[in-house]
Every structure is written in structure tokens, then in C-alpha cells.
Structure 1
């Protein structure tokens, strides 16, 4: 049975709605009065969809995406934790994106503030015994997914060390923006920054261009990036604004043609419809002593370009 929060019993546009996907995993849909919507799955605590007031999708999701747990979904905003990339015995990009998260409250509190038309849901991830064997650290990862009255998507993460020893982690919101064509996209805000190039064994380079455009595969971690980054889609005349706090780095990724063909859950030509620009903490892992808590915030806004 579907679960709704609404002012009226028959409101089909409830601000917060819970359904289940084909695998029986809970899906949460947030919607505001202007018609913006966000869909988040408890599989990975992952945002799968973000639509504007005209119902246009703003996030890429591959037509070949595998949505059956524990496989991660190719698209939306996977959460890479406790690592980004490959390291040690942990799987690629960590395990958070593969796990089934919980509602922070059971039954969940479905939040909507009539005064400012914000709708949000709180999710929680805690380690299983299996996780502890691979990554032996006790933590609580709280995630708030919030849709504002003007259609902005906010992700607020709080990670707390509830164990008896210090641990460190990396994290990235691996955001797949949907674009008209990668050749029509530019990224601003990364000029003059140093970056680690994953295509050259993490060698350190300095960005030379005034803007970042795309003509081949890109896989970089920009170090000490600004709080605001812009992604401009000329053909759609749309600008994505990325605002971040507690996330000092920015990951930029597009697999281009050759690697896209090797990715089983991505269409051969779908690399042209997406660019990943992530708020992240990668270069210097975050350290938490027992009892300490880290907070990271990401806010995404889609605006018409002039």
C-alpha cells in the first residue's frame, strides 16, 4: 500500500509519497507546489530522479541501469562511501551505494513545511556484521534529502563515529547531470586548480583553461575547489549550479566512447548525455575520533541560461 503525507485525504500530489519499486524496495517521492519533484531509493540512499516544474528530468539514468540490489544504479546521485575509487579490500566506491538504507524513524516521519513548502526525508545507514568484517568501524550515516520551494535539491550528510577508535573515509556525491550533448557543455569554477588525473596514475596537474570543455575521456579530482561550480548546457540553455560545504574537492568524469562501450550497464552512446561533477572529499580523507561527527552539504539548482 502506498503511504502519503498530505493535507487532504485525496491529494494526488502529496508533498511526500512512499511506494515500492519492482524489487520491493521503498521509493520516496518529494514534490513541491510548483511541480518540482525528487525521487530517492532506499537502495543506496540514492536520488534517482530530479524533475523541474515542467516535468523535465535533470539527472541522467542509463537505459541499461541495473536496479536490483546489491548492484549500484548507473545514474542519479550514488553516494560513494567510505571510499571513492579503488583501495584495499573495499569494493569500487565503497559499499554505501549498494546497501539498503533505513528510514531515520520507524515509521518514517514524512516532513513537509507548509510555510516554506520544503519537503524532505531522513535516511540512516549503519554497518552490518558483514560490513564490519571488511571495514571494522562503527558509524551512523544520516542523510537528509530535501526539495526546496524553488526546486533546489539538497543533500545533507552527517557521519558520526560511534566506535572506540579513530577512522578515516572519503566520500563523493557522484552526480550524473543530464545534458543535451557533452560537446555542448562547459564547467566553470575549476580554473587554475590543481587536479589528480586518474587517467595518468593520479599524477598532479594544474588546470590551464578558463573553462573545462570535453573532447575525450575525463576522470579528475580537482583539489580545494570553490564552494560554487557551474555546469552550462548551451543547447538546452540550462545552467546547473553546485553549492557545497564540507566537500573540498570536485570530481569530474565522463567515460567517452571507448570506455562507455566497455561499461555493461551504460549504452554505447549514452556518454554524450551526461557529465558527472561531484562534491567530494577525496584527496585528504576525513578523520573522525570516537564521538566526532562530520557534516557535508550539497545543493543543486537548475536555472535557465541567458
Structure 2
């Protein structure tokens, strides 16, 4: 099925995955991620130096530039999400220094992070990204009400205009913006989460499992949105357990394992075996102190 119509009837044993995807989204698997626009990388947006967290993340250092898409790969539990939450101010930091747009950044809370231009699309969409029984309209404006208020007064017309603009931009399929988010498909719910954070106009956006639980058609649209963010000069961090997603989207991939940053892959090294090898390499023991 595609757009409410039957495209074809096929048998599983005679239908390659590529053919199935082409029927569902109108393009082959090789074009699922779309063409990455030519983007000139800007100045450094974020630098993380020797980041350590109470939950086992140890001595993580990396940087990302404006217009760059950097992946965080590795196995589930490797520390990817923990690093993202620490940058967003949701979890405490034991040690380390962060620099945001050339200035010292201490992530004290998510609210403070949002004020500094950071957004986090969490992996738990239903538990942390949206309020299911609240309207689409209210979800989209929840993270930033400044554009729809004036001198402390709420402006309903301004809210409707803003929300409709984001609905159109992200191609969210819905009945009414006043419907609850629970009335939407998984892909459109995820687009509401994205719209909420686009409304904060972030300079750095962290996407944790951005296409988990959405159909292949919605994935393609979300990939296009991610490319658009980079083209607009945003710094984008993508955390994903789907290796093909990282290979298709990212300029480079940082590989985590057991709370450590194990290495970096550039496009010429984008192979599943190399990513897994890095992520599963046992942690090296600390050198023993010389005996007196």
C-alpha cells in the first residue's frame, strides 16, 4: 500500500527488500537517504573534552562543526545516550569541559541547554518526547512559547500560524492540529517531536534513534529533514542502532564501547564489520604503577 492505494501484490520469496522499499516509497533502497547537499562546514559548534559521568562513561572527547552530521555508533548500553543526555543537561557530569560556539558551557539543566540553543530528540518518543493525550498544537509549542506570547499574554492566532507553518514544513499528516498526538501514526508522532524542537531554533540538535518505530516512508522524510538541518548550518548528532542509517547520513561516525570512545570512522571506512570491531574491542586495562 502507498498513499491509500494498492501498489502491487507480491510473494515474499520472490520479492527483494529493495523492490519492496521502492514500491512503498517510490525509490530504491540505494536512494533511501537521498542526496546529501553540498555543505560548507562552519566553525566549531561543540567541543567535549574528557567527559566522565557517574554512570560509567569515561574520558570522552570529540568536537562537531556547524553544518556537520556526526554519528554516535556502538552497541546498546555503550554510553551513547548517556553522553547525549549529559550535553543536554539532563544527567550530571563528574568531570570534563564543554565549549559551545567558542564559549564555556556548563550544562546545568535541559532548560539552560535550550536557552543556549541545544535540542535533544529522545529515543523514548512516547515517554519523553511527546504528551500523547495533549493536542498536536500544544505539543509543538511546549518547548518554546516565546513566539506565541507577548508581554505575558498568550496569542492564539500566532500559535495557530506558527504550528501550521511547522506542520506544512515537516509534512505532518493529521486531521486537525487540535487532535491529540495519540491520533497520529508513529512517523507523524516523531515529526511532532521534531517540530517541537525546530520551534526552539537550535544551533545543535541531538537525535537519539530518530527513526525508531516509524515506517520506511516516514524514515525517508526524516532523513531529508536531517540533511536540511545540516544545510542550514546546524550541527547534528545522530545516535542510531541502525548501521545503514549512520552510513547513509553521517559525515563521520564516533564509535562508543563500554562507556569509552573507541574510535572514529570516516566515509571511506563505513563498513559494518569495522564499526562492530571498534565497538566490541575490550577495554584496555590501566597500566600498573611501577613497584617501589
Both structures adopt the same fold (TM-score exceeding 0.5): no
Asked which structure has the greater CA Rg, the reply is 2
Larger relative helix fraction: 2
Tell which has more relative contact order, 1 or 2 (C-alpha 8 A, sep 6+).
2
TM-score normalised according to structure 2 size: 0.22
Larger relative strand fraction: 1
TM-score normalised according to structure 1 size: 0.22
